DNA sequence: ACCTGAACACCGTTCAAGT
DNA sequence: ACCTGAACACCGTTCAAGT
């Protein structure tokens, strides 16, 4: 798509700082850089000024390629949607829906700021629309009625988004520092007002092998089983 | 609790603008006003300066009652948690968990900015801790093992939060303007790239009686049925 | 066509001063 | 103890100017 990128880089004089790249701006380059910045520094660090600096340009130049910051936020949310694997309406619906759910979880884990942002976006981009249409198509092809497709999709994505928001809110990532943080919390509340939290911390979270991520597989299984029962031949 | 409020109001000289109240500041008064401002104008309109003005005070005065803006955000999230009805560990677990889930949904609907904020908060307040402890206690009292309690709570709240984030993202509230917006969208995409979205819009959303809120009862029923099967006597 | 300097109306927060 | 004026280092965005 952006075939001029590498050629244009050569005329950057190497201005010292880390914006080594100096390709000409474009809508896509602005959005790609905004996405990378949000991932690296957090969504709060994504400002028109920091983005411009990262691109080796002055803030006002951005406005020639995007309408405003809102458009940038809409754009990177759509880039996130584009990373989620689409289900294939031809395949086994359970396999396809499971694969897509797992992919959505991975993507939202890579971009933890995205799930909170989705709530406030009201103009979905092309990747979001394609995604929703393919999901609806896959469920319809699986044999769900229009009404049941609505139930199924709402339940599935409530679970996927809800799990993502819980994971994003955890004070730790991975199993290592989980133990450290959890035992600190448990010690703080020991013998106090929150006996069930202490029990859960010591007898579950601190036991070897605990991983909140496992709740995803568990919950997804529950949801898929329930969906299967909604099919016309669900009992069989 | 705040017995001085009405007495202190009388010595306000009525400074003309709508900050008619002029009670002395307090931690609670600052947080209550912040919550009201976020509800009325959106979380983006909640600034130290707008909050101060609403309280009839200068921005810097706020720092005598809260550490900084982060502490305000932590505080109002905890106020939101405090509004959610607690389950009673003594009652029928299904009734109690259902009532609490419905209350959570109502509360998050009243404060649609809250669900996105929860993700980024890492220091839970007393109401949040009380809430989590009571939920864990209710599930344990119902007969769930420690491990199953973790599964059950994770699934339940993934669904509750996920549904809330979907509702908050809808471009309409209520059934009235839903029809208008949906038919505009459907017309825009008619005969285009998104046939399943058009089908769902015309044959489901535009039919009389459609209400996305109904998906909550549907999904909650699915989740509660699944939890019942996790109990030791779940098959019976 | 694309970029930019200067400016505007905002932010959160600190610090030294007032009562 | 509680409040505040002035200031600092930031925001997003507009506008008129440069090439």
> Is some CB atom of chain B closer than 8 A to the CB atom of A7?
no
Q: Mean pLDDT for each consecutive 10-residue tract of chain B (236 residues)?
A: 31 36 82 98 97 96 97 97 97 98 98 90 91 98 97 98 93 72 86 94 94 97 96 78
Q: What is the pLDDT of residue B16?
A: 36
Nearest CA in chain A to B139: A196
Confidence band of A19 (pLDDT split at 50, 70, 90): very low
* Residue A7 pLDDT exceeds 60: no
Nearest CA in chain B to A207: B147
Tokens 């505009």 sit on residue: B184
With 0-12 CB in 10 A as exposed, 13-18 as middle and 19+ as buried, what is B92? exposed
> Is some CB atom of chain A closer than 8 A to the CB atom of B185?
no
B140, A196 contact by CB (below 8 A):
yes
Q: Is the dihedral of CA A204, B114, B166, A229 positive or negative?
A: positive
CA distance A146 to chain B (A): 7
Tokens 């406005």 sit on residue: A63
What is the pLDDT of chain A when averaged over all its residues?
A: 88
- Highest CATH level, class, for B3-66: mainly alpha
Of B143, B119, B150, the closest CA to residue A197 belongs to B150
Cα B124 versus chain centre, distance: 15
Q: Show which residues sit with Cβ under 7 A of nucleic chain D.
A: A 46-50, 59-60, 63, 68-70; B 24-25, 57-58, 60-61, 63-65
Work out the number of other CB atoms within 10 angstroms of the CB of residue B145.
16
Confidence band of A219 (pLDDT split at 50, 70, 90): very high
Cα distance between residue A123 and residue A134, in whole Å: 18
Q: What is the pLDDT of residue A233?
A: 84
Retrieve residue A156's tokens: 């599935």
Q: What is the pLDDT of residue B171?
A: 76
Confidence band of A175 (pLDDT split at 50, 70, 90): low
B125, B77 contact by CB (below 8 A):
yes
Predicted model pTM = 0.90
For nucleotide D14, give the residue with the nearest CA to its C1': A60
- pLDDT tens digits along A78-106: 999 999 999 999 999 999 999 999 999 99
Q: What is the pLDDT of residue B23?
A: 67
Show me where the domains of chain B are located: 3-66
């Amino acid at each position: 798509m952006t075939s001029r990128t590498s050629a244009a880089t050569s005329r950057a004089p190497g201005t010292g700082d880390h914006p080594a790249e100096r390709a000409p701006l474009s809508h896509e380059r602005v959005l790609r850089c905004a996405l990378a910045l949000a991932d690296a520094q957090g969504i709060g660090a994504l400002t028109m000024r920091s983005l411009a600096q990262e691109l080796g340009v002055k803030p006002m130049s951005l406005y020639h390629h995007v309408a405003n910051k809102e458009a940038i936020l809409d754009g990177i949310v759509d880039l996130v949607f584009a990373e989620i694997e689409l289900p294939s309406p031809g395949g086994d619906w359970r396999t396809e829906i499971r694969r897509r759910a797992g992919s959505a979880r991975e993507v939202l884990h890579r971009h933890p700021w995205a799930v909170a942002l989705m709530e406030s976006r009201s103009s979905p981009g092309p990747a979001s629309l394609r995604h929703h249409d393919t999901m609806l198509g896959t469920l319809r092809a699986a044999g769900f009625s229009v009404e049941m497709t609505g139930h199924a999709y709402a339940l599935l994505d409530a679970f996927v988004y809800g799990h993502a928001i819980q994971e994003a809110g955890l004070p730790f990532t991975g199993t290592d520092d989980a133990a450290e943080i959890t035992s600190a919390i448990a010690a703080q509340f020991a013998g106090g007002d929150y006996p069930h939290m202490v029990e859960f911390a010591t007898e579950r979270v601190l036991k070897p092998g605990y991983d909140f991520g496992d709740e995803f597989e568990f919950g997804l299984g529950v949801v898929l089983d329930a969906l299967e029962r909604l099919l016309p031949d669900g009992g069989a």
